[in-house]
Structure 1
């Protein structure tokens, strides 16, 4: 996998290290990025299910009331 070097504020990285419970700045940032990506996938899946559910509801013929 390709590597990217970036500069971040040290206080920010230390806070992430503490919250994530990891001892390496690189590992801490990697944990945050992976979590962000996973949340995005979960959100996409949830929204996709809602949209599919609405489509199925809209496509079913409505029962006549009377």
Structure 2
């Protein structure tokens, strides 16, 4: 996997390290990024589940009433 080098404010990184409970700035930032991506995927899955029944409902012809 390709690597990227970025500059971040030291106070920000230290806070992330404390919150993540890790001693390495690299590991702390990587954990945060991976968590952010995982949350995005979970959100997408939940939205898709909610929209799926609507799509099926829209495809079915209306039932005759009467």
Instruction: Give the TM-score of the pair, scaled to structure 1.
Output: 0.87
What's the counterpart of residue 40 of structure 1? 40
Moved over 6 A (4+): none
- RMSD (Å) for aligned C-alpha atoms: 1.3
What's the counterpart of residue 12 of structure 2? 12
Instruction: Give the TM-score of the pair, scaled to structure 2.
Output: 0.87
How many residues end up aligned between the 2 structures? 66
Residue 36 of structure 1 deviates from its aligned partner by 0.4
What's the counterpart of residue 54 of structure 1? 54
